[in-house]
Amino acid sequence: QVQLVESGGGLVQPGGSLRLSCAASGRTIRGYVMGWFRQAPGAEREFVAAVGWNSGRTNYADPVKGRFTISRDNTKNTIYLQMSSLKPEDTAIYFCAAESSGNLYSSRGQYDYWGQGTQVTVSS
């Protein structure tokens, strides 16, 4: 079992930056693909980014390409989402997820473990 806890969310102005963290416990994340998803009010949970067992493999949703960076530190059992040039449409609860197949899935149904989420609000 893997427990995931997100942190780092908050209120930020448009154009600002924010760094989210996801701390894992129970098992090392070394053998898992890790992903970030987000869910805006009234919307479906959508894929944001994923990173493979090593940071060399990444996958990003089109709306965040060039603005968000996913990374992992297996030593710290933590993954990160560095968000820059934030837009109001980035406002959502951001969830961390873990997947064991090794594929960088963009579908939330493929992920095995989920955190509780952290709120990101982009507003003036």
For all residues of the chain together, what is the average pLDDT? 95
Please determine, for residue 117, whether its predicted confidence score (pLDDT) is greater than 80: yes
Q: For residues 73 and 78, what is the distance between their CA atoms, to the nearest angstrom?
A: 5
Q: For residues 81 and 42, what is the distance between their CA atoms, to the nearest angstrom?
A: 23
Confidence at 61, pLDDT banded by 50, 70, 90 = very high
For strands 68-73 and 10-12, give the pairing: unpaired
Taking only the tens place, the pLDDT of each residue in 20-52 is 999 999 988 888 999 999 999 999 999 999 999
Sign of CA dihedral 32, 33, 34, 38: negative
Taking only the tens place, the pLDDT of each residue in 78-112 is 999 999 999 999 999 999 999 998 888 899 999 99
Residue 113: partners with Cβ closer than 8 Å, 6 or more residues away: 1, 2, 3, 4, 97, 98
